[in-house]
Amino acid sequence: MLEAQERQRFEQCVLPYLDAAFNLARWLLRDRSNAEDATQEAMLRAYRFFPSFRAGDPRAWLLQIVRNYCYTWLRQNRPHEDTSELNEDSLPSDTPSPETLAIASHDRQRIAQALEALPVHFREILVLRELEGCSYKEIAAITSHPIGTVMSALARARKQLRESLSTPLHTKESSRAL
Amino acid sequence: MPCDLAAAHLHAYLDGELDAAGAAGFERHLQSCAECASALNSEQTLRTTLASAQLYEPAPTLLRNRIHAQLPARPSTRTPFFRILQWAALAPAILLAIFLGRAYFESRANTDVLAVAAVDAHLRSLQPGHLTDVQSSDQHTVKPWFDGKIDFAPTVTDFANDGFPLLGGRLDVLSGNTVAALVYGRRKHIINVFIIPSSPRISPANSAGVRDGYHWLSWQHNGFTCIAVSDANRTDLAQLRTLFQAP
């Protein structure tokens, strides 16, 4: 009886966030097929840990498990990827670039590639903020970073993404000269 | 030199993380600081670009099915005979779980269909001239406007004091149901709140999601199913839900 109740509670509380789990895994691992395996493993793991989850935000809780699984996977399978935890001191100070750079192309593939080319922590924070719509507090809970670090990393991530999507200024200048 | 205030507040403002006073202060600052205005502009362009790329990738159906099939029953240490007895004893519970599970997923599917329709209706409403049938920030103008046009009376409240000014209302159709749509502003964003009387067909499931870069959030209140849709962030929608549900 307990088993059925527990499973039903899991299905109501956690399983609705399957899309969120898969989307995060897909962008962290940059690969759909590995993301499917990771999501499945993380979901089963969440089911095992579920009795110890009593209160709080089930989405953040699930995404935390997905994230941990993905980082472990990356360390084992893609040792070149820098997965060392973010540290506020290692982030360059956030100076918003005053120049408004035109974003060159809007096609999905190019934007997806630019996002995938970001360091994993930046990618993660942008996916959680822009695709998943998480608040700073939720991102802090999922990634176990202080809110200050989330904010500076997000600013830095956006800057880097914008730079990689932008036409370099000199190209703009030369086309204007024509 | 970039402005100091930009470094401190720009992203928090963009993400709706400043409180009302902080946001108003930053908006005043924007009027006089070209630097911040231009920086905000490029952040907004980036956000639009990201949203337009529709990067969100939902879980494939096969994965969903696989996970359902694999959610384990805890391994038993009993003998096979005991296990059979145990399963026999559990049969009613299993049937109940299957029944509830089905009802739950059917209701979820309903909500999802409705949510998709709501996002589409939101997009339609943003076309020039489609946003409101009755344009007023006065709840006492908007509410009576619905009289006789629909067979239910939605509660209409202006939440301007909480940062969600009522802009008006209109009739809309979601999956074949005529619904009341209330339009709210949130900073520079538009929020549509669709109100439908709850029925077995529109089952009471609360859900949230993102589609084409638009957030939606649904909830139940006083026998109505409400679905809010916007490009404002999820926190804003949750805040509006709280206002709706306040006694």
Taking Cα atoms as reference points, which of B238, B183, B227 lies closest to residue A134?
A: B238
Sign of CA dihedral B2, B44, B229, B133: positive
**Judgement on whether residues B21 and B115 belong to the same structural domain of the protein:** no
Q: In the predicted model, what is the mean pLDDT of chain A?
A: 82
* pLDDT for A157 beyond 80: yes
So what's the pLDDT on residue B73? 59
B101: closest chain A residue by CA:
A8
Q: For the ranges A56-65, A123-132, A139-148, B124-133, which has the lowest average pLDDT?
A: B124-133
A21: closest chain B residue by CA:
B59
So what's the pLDDT on residue A156? 92
Contact call for A23 and B58, based on CB within 8 A: yes
**Judgement on whether residues B46 and B116 belong to the same structural domain of the protein:** no
**Judgement on whether residues B155 and B230 belong to the same structural domain of the protein:** yes
How far apart CA B17 and CA B235 sit, in angstroms, is 9
Q: Which two tokens stand for residue A22?
A: 């898969």
**Judgement on whether residues B31 and B120 belong to the same structural domain of the protein:** no
The nearest CA of chain A is from the CA of B151 a distance in Å of 32
Q: ipTM of this predicted complex?
A: 0.82
Chain B residues near residue A11 by CB distance under 8 angstroms: 71, 101, 104
- Judge whether B227 and B209 are in contact, CB under 8 Å: no
Contact call for A103 and B45, based on CB within 8 A: yes
Contact call for B2 and A98, based on CB within 8 A: yes
Chain A residues near residue B57 by CB distance under 8 angstroms: 22-23, 26-27, 32
Boundary-marking domain end, from B52, B71, B92: B52
Chain A residues near residue B116 by CB distance under 8 angstroms: none
Q: Which two tokens stand for residue A69?
A: 């699984």
Contact call for A100 and B7, based on CB within 8 A: no
Boundary-marking domain end, from B15, B35, B52: B52
B65: closest chain A residue by CA:
A40
Three-state DSSP class for residue B33: coil
- Judge whether B42 and B25 are in contact, CB under 8 Å: no
**Judgement on whether residues B126 and B43 belong to the same structural domain of the protein:** no
Asked, for residue B167, whether it belongs to a domain, the answer is: yes
CB-neighbour burial class of residue B230 (10 A; exposed 0-12, middle 13-18, buried 19+):
buried
Ranked by mean pLDDT, which of A32-36, A47-51, B123-127, B232-236 comes out on top? A32-36
Taking Cα atoms as reference points, which of B227, B219, B232, B242 lies closest to residue B159?
A: B242
Phi first, then psi: what are they for B54, rounded to 5°? 50, 60
Contact call for A136 and B12, based on CB within 8 A: yes
Asked, for residue B201, whether it belongs to a domain, the answer is: yes
Which structural domain, as residue segments, surrounds residue B130?
Answer: 109-245
* pLDDT for B1 beyond 60: no
pTM: 0.56
Q: C-alpha distances in angstroms, A110 versus A107, A121, B55, B77?
A: 6, 20, 11, 54
Report pLDDT digits (tens) over A48-85: 888 888 778 899 999 999 999 999 999 999 888 777 76
The count of structural domains within chain B is 2
Asked, for residue B69, whether it belongs to a domain, the answer is: no
**Judgement on whether residues B135 and B217 belong to the same structural domain of the protein:** yes
Q: Which two tokens stand for residue A26?
A: 């897909």
* pLDDT for B46 beyond 60: yes
> If you average pLDDT over residues B88-111, what whole number do you get?
70
Domains of chain A with CATH codes: 2-77 (1.10.1740.10), 98-177 (1.10.10.10)
So what's the pLDDT on residue B138? 86
Taking Cα atoms as reference points, which of A71, A67, A69 lies closest to residue A139?
A: A67
Q: pLDDT tier at B232 (50, 70, 90 boundaries)? A: confident
**Judgement on whether residues B148 and B236 belong to the same structural domain of the protein:** yes
> If you average pLDDT over residues B6-14, what whole number do you get?
84
The upper half-sphere exposure of residue B118, i.e. CA atoms within 13 Å in the direction of its Cβ, equals: 34
- Counting residues of chain A whose pLDDT is more than 90, the rounded percentage is 57
Q: Which domain CATH number covers B193? A: 3.30.200.100
The nearest CA of chain A is from the CA of B90 a distance in Å of 6
Q: In the predicted model, what is the mean pLDDT of chain B?
A: 83
Asked, for residue B64, whether it belongs to a domain, the answer is: no
Q: For the ranges A88-92, A144-148, B45-49, B149-153, which has the lowest average pLDDT?
A: A88-92
Report pLDDT digits (tens) over B193-202: 999 888 766 6
Of A175 and A2, the structure prediction assigns the larger pLDDT to A2
Report pLDDT digits (tens) over A12-52: 889 999 999 999 999 999 999 999 999 999 999 999 888 88
**Judgement on whether residues B32 and B118 belong to the same structural domain of the protein:** no
> If you average pLDDT over residues B29-48, what whole number do you get?
89
Chain B residues near residue A158 by CB distance under 8 angstroms: 11, 43, 46
